[in-house]
Amino acid sequence: MIARPELKALVPSFLNAYEESRINAIWNDQSRRFRDFWTMRVMAPAAGTISDEDCDRYIAILDRNGKGNRKGSEAVAKVMVPQGAWRKLFNEFHSGNRELGAAVDRVFSVSEPTARASAIDAVYRLNAGARNNLTGASGNAIGAMLAAWEPTRNLSMISLRDRRAIIEYLGLQLPYEWERATIGTLMADTNDLIIAAAQELGLPSNARTITAFFYTADAKQLWRQGSNHVVRLPDGIVSVSVPTHEDEEDEDDAGTGEPAGDVGELHESMQVQALLASIGATMGFKIWLPRSDRSRVMKAWRPEPGQLLDSLPLGFDATTVATVEQIDVLWLDRRSIVRAFEVEGTTAIYSGLLRMADLVALQPNLKVKLHIVADASRRDKVMREIQRPVFSLLEGGALRNFCTYISYDHVREISENAFLRHTTQGVLDAFAESAEGDDPL
């Protein structure tokens, strides 16, 4: 099923405005330069270090946040890999771990979907346990390099979440369950499935052009609405969207591509996020962190094997899972969420509350304790926001009945408890403040 006349109607005007020949010329040159860098520098047997300056020229092709990118320039995508991590990866391939470099090289050299899926999975196995940003759950780094290597054949849409949303919107079918497939299989198959579907819509087979189309404002509004959910409220039906971290301004400006540095340089909210993860793990809970936050949070918290979940073992629908995955910290006991935390630094408190409200709206019978965690200076703002009238209309009850405030200082105090390993989660309730009794808006 692909009909979707509302999407197909956007194709002619897009093709008329999109300068495909000019952009193709840019990418032909950039792809040639990236291939030369890879074969003549990264994979060259000569010892020594590839300089930051040399690396940065090609990071700018891969990552929209890379140094050297200028307004109007072309890059694969916003990859969310720090500049320093890219540099280390290239040098690791070059001289630190030649076996890993050869495994990535094989990903480039094969194009048949099954062979490419196997090659990607081999990289993931070889790199298991490494914290080098190469093999994240979204496949961003490998996806970006594939798109730079062969931009007309590999989608610049490196987000598997976005690929899945488009596939579901178009009603396309994969011959397996998404959750049971390897990441290599998902990356290879979704690439070809979306390209084939785009051609049925009237788009050319050029993967870069297809990506540009799906990320136009009008097209994106359509397929992202596929992740909306109809919610029944006492006075009618509303559509609930799923706010994501990528839709917001990131407080530590991850868009610069600068490496986050050591723990002392992490923004306060990330340090608190790490403390909450550590507290929950010490109490015996499994921990979930959004994939986009993991590399930074794990500069301050080093989980033991099995403590940090790679996927959520929840029996919810896809819309609910997409919402839950964006919450800053989750504590889980087996297959159940016990506590959910949104840590608010300089970002709008309202965005975190929207995720909490969506969760309550989507699963009104879900009994989870929700917490907004913020600095004491923002306590009154949190209380006002929780009591917004819109949050009182949820089918499961007013948000203020489920969601409380905890200060940064109290999180630190809990983390310093010498008997934390023998302490129950109920200790949080002693520090949590309810909006009940505070003046509403």
- How far from the centroid of its chain's Cα atoms is residue 131's Cα? 16
Return the pLDDT at 4: 82
Tell me if 210 sits within 8 A of 195, measured CB to CB: yes
Report the mean per-residue pLDDT for the chain: 83
Which strands make up the sheet holding 286-288, listed edge to edge? 286-288, 329-333, 336-344, 369-374, 403-407
What pLDDT score was predicted for residue 358? 77
**Based on the number of CB atoms within 10 Å of its own CB, is 394 exposed (0-12), middle (13-18) or buried (19 or more)?**
buried
Given a cut of 50, whether residue 257 has pLDDT beyond it is no
Identify the DSSP state of 228. -
CB burial string 43-72: b at 16+ within 10 A, e below: beeeeeebeeeebbebbbbbbbbbbbbeee
Residue spans per domain, the chain = 5-227, 245-430
CA distance 417 to 430: 14
Q: How confident is the model at residue 266 (pLDDT cuts 50, 70, 90)?
A: low
pLDDT grade for 260, boundaries at 50, 70 and 90: very low
Percent of the chain scoring above 90 in pLDDT: 46
Is the model more confident about 46 or about 38?
Answer: 38
Dihedral sign from CA coordinates of 277, 372, 312, 147: negative
Model confidence at 265: pLDDT above 70 = no
The single residue listed with the structure tokens 């936050």 is 293
Query: Per-residue pLDDT averaged across 252-278, rounded?
Result: 59
Residue 134's pLDDT is 92
pLDDT digits (tens, 9 = 90+) for 205-252: 999 999 999 999 899 888 876 444 444 445 454 444 444 444 443 333
Would you place residue 347 in the very low, low, confident or very high pLDDT band (cuts 50, 70, 90)? Answer: low
130-154 pLDDT, tens per residue? 888 899 877 889 999 999 999 999 9
